[in-house]
C-alpha cells in the first residue's frame, strides 16, 4: 500500500483537457490527481505507463527543468528561501504548467487510477479537497470542521519536527567550516541527526495522525465514508 504522508495532506487543484482511447478524462480525476506520486516506479507500473509515454514524460520533464532552473538559480542568488520559492507566483506557474504537461500524457483510465492512488496516498486527507467533499456529499460545515481538525493535527506534528530541528541545530551554533567539503560533511551530519530525532518521535507523530483520523471519521457519516473509500479504489499493493 502506498506509504501515508504523515499529516502532510496535499490537495491538487488544476484542470486540463485531453482525449484518450475515445474517452474524455474526467475533470474530477484531473483535479484530484497528484502527479508527484508518479515518481515511484511501482506507481508507473500500476498505471501501465508505456515506453512511449515514459519517453514523452521524460522529454516534458527535461524541457520544464531547463525552463525553471535559471529562475530558481536567480531566486537563490537573491537569497530567497525554499519557503519563499514555494509561494512565488512565477514559480507556482511553472509547477502548474509541468503538472498539466504531465497529466496530458495519461489516458482516461490511467488518470482515474492515478486519482485513486492519490487519494490512497493521503488517506482521509483527501476529504479536505472541496471537489472530493462535494462528490461524497459533505456539507460546507462538515468540510470546515474536517479542515479544522487537520490543521490542528498538522500544527501539532510540525511543532514536534521544529523542536527536533532546533535541538539539532543548537549543537552547531559555534561550528565553523573552512571548505566546501567540510560544509557538505557537516550538512550530512546535521541531516542524519535530524532524521534520527524525528524517528525517535515517530510514535508521537503516529499517535497524532491516528487521533486526527478518528476525529475526521467522527465528522463523516457512514455513507460518506463508503463513498470516499470507493473513490480511493482498489488498494494498491506494490509487487
Q: List the domain range (segments joined by +) for residue 183.
A: 139-219
* Residues ≥6 apart with Cβ < 8 Å to 20: 106, 107, 108, 109, 110
Considering the domain boundaries, does residue 196 fall inside one?
yes
Q: Are 205 and 157 in contact (CB under 8 A)?
A: yes
The 3-state DSSP class for residue 5 equals coil
Task: Please indicate, yes or no, if residue 199 is contained in any of the structural domains.
Answer: yes
Query: Which residue, 159, 143, 111, is CA-closest to 216?
Result: 143
Number of structural domains in the chain: 1
- Is 39 inside a domain boundary? no
Which pLDDT does position 23 carry in this prediction? 64
Task: Give the per-residue pLDDT at 226.
Answer: 97
Angle at 168 between CA 162 and CA 171, to 5 degrees: 140
Query: Cell numbers 475526521 label which residue?
Result: 216
Residue 67: per-residue pLDDT = 87
Residue 211 lies in a domain: yes
Domain-located, residue 151:
yes
**What's this model's pTM, rounded to 2 decimal places?**
0.76
**What distance in Å separates the CA atoms of residue 216 and residue 231, rounded to the nearest whole number?**
17
Q: Mean pLDDT for each consecutive 10-residue tract of the chain (239 residues)?
A: 41 32 77 93 95 93 89 85 84 89 93 97 94 97 97 95 94 86 88 94 96 96 98 87
Q: Please tell me the distance from the alpha carbon of residue 213 to that of residue 88, in angstroms, as a whole number.
A: 32
Tell me whether residue 22 is in a domain: no
> Is 180 inside a domain boundary?
yes
In a domain, 149, yes or no: yes
Residue 18's pLDDT is 34
What pLDDT sits at residue 176?
84
Amino acid at each position: 500500500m502506498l506509504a501515508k504522508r504523515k499529516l502532510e495532506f496535499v490537495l491538487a487543484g488544476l484542470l486540463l483537457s485531453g482525449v484518450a482511447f475515445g474517452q474524455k478524462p474526467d475533470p474530477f480525476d484531473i483535479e484530484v490527481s497528484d502527479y508527484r506520486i508518479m515518481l515511484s516506479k511501482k506507481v508507473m507500473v500500476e498505471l501501465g505507463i508505456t515506453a512511449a509515454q515514459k519517453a514523452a514524460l521524460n522529454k516534458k520533464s527535461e524541457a520544464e527543468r531547463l525552463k525553471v532552473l535559471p529562475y530558481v538559480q536567480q531566486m537563490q542568488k537573491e537569497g530567497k528561501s525554499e519557503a519563499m520559492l514555494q509561494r512565488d507566483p512565477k514559480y507556482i506557474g511553472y509547477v502548474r504548467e509541468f503538472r498539466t504537461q504531465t497529466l496530458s500524457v495519461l489516458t482516461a483510465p490511467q488518470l482515474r487510477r492515478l486519482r485513486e492512488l492519490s487519494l490512497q496516498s493521503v488517506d482521509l486527507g483527501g476529504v479536505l479537497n472541496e471537489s472530493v467533499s462535494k462528490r461524497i456529499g459533505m456539507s460546507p460545515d462538515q468540510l470546515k470542521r474536517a479542515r479544522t481538525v487537520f490543521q490542528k493535527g498538522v500544527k501539532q506534528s510540525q511543532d514536534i519536527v521544529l523542536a527536533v530541528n532546533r535541538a539539532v541545530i543548537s549543537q552547531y551554533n559555534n561550528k565553523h567550516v573552512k571548505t566546501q567539503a567540510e560544509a557538505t560533511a557537516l550538512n550530512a551530519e546535521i541531516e542524519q541527526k535530524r532524521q534520527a530525532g524525528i524517528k525517535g518521535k515517530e510514535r508521537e507523530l503516529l499517535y497524532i495522525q491516528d487521533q486526527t483520523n478518528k476525529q475526521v471519521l467522527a465528522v463523516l457519516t457512514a455513507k460518506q465514508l463508503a463513498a470516499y473509500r470507493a473513490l480511493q479504489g482498489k488498494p494498491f499493493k506494490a509487487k
